[in-house]
Amino acid sequence: MTKKILLSFWAATIGTLCFTSCSSDSSEDSSAQENTTESVAEENLVRAVSMMEAAIEHYFTGGTTKLLRYYNPLTNANKDNEVGSVWMYTSSIEATNAILQALTDIRSSKPELYEQYYQKYVSQLAWLYDGLEYYAGTFTHRSYTQTKEWTVYGVDRSESKGNVNVGGIGNVYDDQEWLIHELVHSYQLTSNSSYLSKAEYLTDYVLDGWDCDVDAEGNEFGGITWGPGYDTKHACSNAPIIAPLVWLHEIYKGQPDVIKYRTIQPNRQRVEVEKSKAEYYLAFAEKIYNWQKRYLLKDDGVYSDLMEVSHPYQTENVDGIEYRQGNPVTNQAGSSYTYNSGTMLSGGAELYRVTGNAEYLTDIQQLTSATFSYFAHLGEAKDGYYSYPIEGFSPWFNDVLLTGYIKTYNQYSAASAQIATFQQNLDNGWTVKQGNLLPVNLLVGWAKQPDQNNVEALFTFGYISEYAQLSSYELNKN
């Protein structure tokens, strides 16, 4: 158990979306504002750490990295001992990264917090990545340009490392993309080169899934299918990789490193091309962003779930070699989820930050407004509070939307209004916490029947990530 930490309490009156601002010409008011900001940041971080300690204790079995999908803090039971998928497991890495980022950000103002926890979470990160290998497997994949053996991460966990059946629908591209996102972030936080190497390997695999086949005019069909065994092209298998591609571009900017990759010429011949890593990663980030915006942005300003395609999986023979055949898209389909728009907010904000292209700024401004209008509903669950979807996996999807709002805030400060609603909702959930864990519905609380309060590990780690991100946001917003 950790030592009890004395907290400074946040004494501010919060309206629905209105906050009292301090006078810029008053040094006393300015100092008070800074103290309040630091107090909120500290409180958010301490809550994230408290929740993480409870999550590690209750969702992982016997000190191992086997993640159980559900835990009920009212009955102290894990429902059916069901093991979580790699996506759910990755959320624990995301939350650990978010805490490490917050600890890094608060180091100058609260060095005692940094000293107490930083190395602990660096070690936890390494432990989690070691456990990730129970989801690993190797298969041979035929793509649009080559047939190659890959070691990637499957949906389900094996009892031994590296033995998961990842062929067919056994792995999906979006799982790899969320891992890339966290691996690059882990590298940024720790400078551990093994995280960067793994991120780039998985990036090669995902971008090998980009439909680079061309139409009669020589234009790429574009888009990444949900997985190598699927036909439809999803928002979730495209947008999540945009932000980490931008980060990879920044890592290699000004460096001589090159990458070799395969593509299809207008005459449909497969060729190998060489390009600088910095140029390659940024160009692909923009290409994916533009594809998703073109095909998946709806008239109501938010993003649809997927694009249907013209035909089922097919192969073709070119010069005696079999390749996957490209597939043009047809119709938008599926529902609109917060994370499909959240990833485009993050991607657009990061692209604007490194390119200065005003179109990206316009996009994220419009998407910030559209997502709040579409997904947030005032007073629906509790008077004075904005509620977000909670059906299905939406509690974690909302974590992705908050990430997008925070990334957007760095370029468009009006996003602070949206971010404030997440702080309010988490704080409301904290008032009814059980064993430092929050209910699925932050505004309504726990179900009356104790056995109806199973909480997904995915949601718990999402709430940890949100509190940690809000800690960093408070420290950096000014």
Q: What is the pLDDT of residue 389?
A: 98
- Residue 4 Ramachandran class (φ > 0 left, ψ -120 to 50 alpha, else beta): beta
Q: What is the pLDDT of residues 344-372, one digit of tens each?
A: 999 999 999 999 999 999 999 999 999 99
Helix (H) or strand (E) holding 472: helix 457-476
- Strand pairing partners for 149? 140
**Three-class SS state of 337:** coil
Q: What is the pLDDT of residue 35?
A: 59
Confidence of residue 37 (pLDDT cuts 50, 70, 90): confident
Orientation of helix 416-430 relative to helix 457-476, angle to 10°: 130
pLDDT of 8 above 60: no
pLDDT of 19 above 60: no
Q: What is the pLDDT of residues 244-285, one digit of tens each?
A: 999 999 999 999 999 999 999 998 899 999 999 999 999 999
Burial 33-56 (b: 16+ CB within 10 A, else e): beebbbbbbbbbbbbbbbbbebbe
Q: What is the pLDDT of residues 290-328, one digit of tens each?
A: 999 999 999 999 999 999 999 999 999 999 999 999 999
Q: What is the pLDDT of residue 92?
A: 98
Contacts of the segment 124-131: beta carbons below 8 A, 24+ positions apart? 124/56, 124/96, 125/93, 125/96, 125/97, 125/100, 125/186, 125/190, 126/192, 127/65, 128/65, 128/89, 128/92, 128/93, 128/96, 129/93, 129/186, 129/195, 130/65, 131/64, 131/65, 131/66, 131/67, 131/89
Largest CA distance in the chain: 77
For the chain, give the percent of residues with pLDDT over 90: 90
pLDDT of 83 above 60: yes
Q: How far apart are CA 18 and CA 437, in angstroms?
A: 28
| Span of 43-47, 51-55, 158-162, 266-270 with lowest mean pLDDT | 266-270
- Residue 379 Ramachandran class (φ > 0 left, ψ -120 to 50 alpha, else beta): left
What DSSP string describes 272-312? EEEEEHHHHHHHHHHHHHHHHHHHHB-TTSSB-SEEEESSS
Contact at 8 Å (CB) between 303 and 292? yes
Q: Report in angstroms the alpha-carbon separations of 113 from 6, 7, 459, 462, 477.
A: 11, 11, 25, 22, 20
171-191 average pLDDT score: 98
Confidence of residue 16 (pLDDT cuts 50, 70, 90): very low
Q: What is the pLDDT of residues 116-174, one digit of tens each?
A: 999 999 999 999 999 999 999 999 999 999 999 999 999 999 999 999 999 999 999 99
pLDDT of 7 above 90: no
The alpha carbon torsion through 330, 335, 338, 343 (nearest 10 deg) reads -20
Q: What is the pLDDT of residue 36?
A: 82
Confidence of residue 9 (pLDDT cuts 50, 70, 90): very low
Helix (H) or strand (E) holding 71: strand 70-71
- Mean pLDDT of all residues belonging to the chain: 93
Q: What is the pLDDT of residue 1?
A: 37
Confidence of residue 33 (pLDDT cuts 50, 70, 90): low
Q: What is the pLDDT of residue 15?
A: 32
371-376 average pLDDT score: 98
Q: How far apart are CA 174 and CA 340, in angstroms?
A: 11
Q: What is the pLDDT of residues 455-475, one digit of tens each?
A: 999 999 999 999 999 999 999
Reported as half-sphere exposure (CB side, CA atoms, 13 A), residue 390 has a value of 17
pLDDT of 29 above 90: no
